[in-house]
Amino acid sequence: MRVASLYGPVQEDLPIVEATLDSIKQTDFQVLAEMLSHALAGGGKRMRPALALLAARYRNYNLELLVPLAASVELLHTATLVHDDVIDVAASRRGRPTANSLYDNAASVMLGDFMFAHAADLVARTGNVRVIRLFARTLMHMAAGELDQDVSAFDWSRSVRDYLRRIGGKTASLIATACEGGAIISGAPEDWIEALRDYGQNLGMAFQIVDDLLDFTGNEAQMGKPVGSDLMQGTLTLPSLLLMEASPRDNPIKRLFQSRRGSKLRLEVAVRAVLESGAIARSREVADGYGKQALAALNRLPPNETTHTLIELVDYVLERDS
């Protein structure tokens, strides 16, 4: 799917969301303006705000209410990335310097806090208490997922169930909220809201699993980060967990974690072990399974242009290479 037509019937409305995000940078505090410009410039494909708009296409498509929601979802996502980079001491993200590498950790934490607060202000503009509460609960789920990842760093005793719970909160919950929030704002019936929430949750699970696969199989230049960076940070993802389940005794990942931020050679050995095992293929099967569940949720919605776009987005998420 070409990026220019990735979001079908809402593609032409995304610049309005972008303009709302740009307006956040307008502040008299020059340093903050520069930091916001940098953080928001690497926004990627804006999938989350597009999903919020798409979910509303089934009923009352009111951009006056939907644009603040879509912008708030994207701003919340970006704020979490800023905080993630501080926690991970990351120097770059997708080939661009992180805020904490350009400024310092304290300033970057405050930047993330400012963006969280602004996201809350945006979602409040919808005037919909149900959506505001949904936003708050989602932020709690995301924070819990990030905290779980942080406190479990270099812990090789974690299970696949732990991993799925973590990514369900850290990644999938926000994508589900984008879909559910858009549907609520549009006045969709409850069964459609539930279907779109289920679609977003399963799409988000597939998205994160593919992202974790690409940490082993992706092109370093395209990904903007070194291969195996999750392992180097002490984070177990599905491919590494499946390898550890298959070889619990003699395991290069366990040896890497025991040395905590071990040598480049140990990392290379661990990555190669994952690539040479069946863990990549099995992880892709799990991602495909979530993709099928996302498609099944769409069967509860009217077959139209919006549904067709959501179907194509599942294919895009599963087949992407960066």
Band of residue 279 on the pLDDT scale cut at 50, 70, 90: very high
Burial class (CB in 10 A: 0-12, 13-18, 19+), 299: exposed
Q: How confident is the model at residue 221 (pLDDT cuts 50, 70, 90)?
A: low
Q: How far apart are CA 132 and CA 143, in angstroms?
A: 17
Q: Does residue 9 form part of some domain? A: no
**What pLDDT is stored for residue 26 in this prediction?**
87
Report the pLDDT averaged over residues 162-174: 96
**Which two three-digit tokens encode residue 75?**
């701003």
Q: What is the tens place of the pLDDT at every residue in 22-47? A: 999 888 889 888 888 888 886 678 99
How high is the mean pLDDT of the chain?
91
The CATH number given to whatever domain includes residue 57 is: 1.10.600.10
Query: Cβ(44)–Cβ(94) under 8 Å?
Result: yes
299 within some domain: yes
Look-up of token digits 């690539």: 275
- Asked if the structure places residue 6 within a domain, the reply is no
Judge whether 95 lies within some domain.
yes
Statement: residue 252 has pLDDT above 80: yes
Write down the pLDDT at residue 83: 80
State the total domains in the chain.
Answer: 1
- For residue 96, the model assigns a pLDDT of 76
For residue 303, tell me if it sits in a domain: yes
Q: Has residue 3 got a pLDDT over 60?
A: no
pLDDT tens digits for 61-98? 999 999 999 999 999 999 998 887 777 666 656 667 66
**Residues 100-138 pLDDT 10s:** 777 878 888 898 899 999 999 999 999 999 999 999 999
- Stated pTM of the model: 0.94
pLDDT digits (tens, 9 = 90+) for 181-193: 999 999 999 999 9
- The answer to whether residue 11 sits within a structural domain is no
pLDDT band at 322 (very low <50, low <70, confident <90, very high): confident
* DSSP secondary structure of 130-172: HHHHHHHHHHHHHHHHHHHHHHTTT-TT--HHHHHHHHIIIII
Cα 118 versus chain centre, distance? 19
For residue 257, tell me if it sits in a domain.
yes
Q: Is 27 part of a structural domain of the chain? A: yes
Q: Structural domain of residue 174, as residue ranges?
A: 16-319
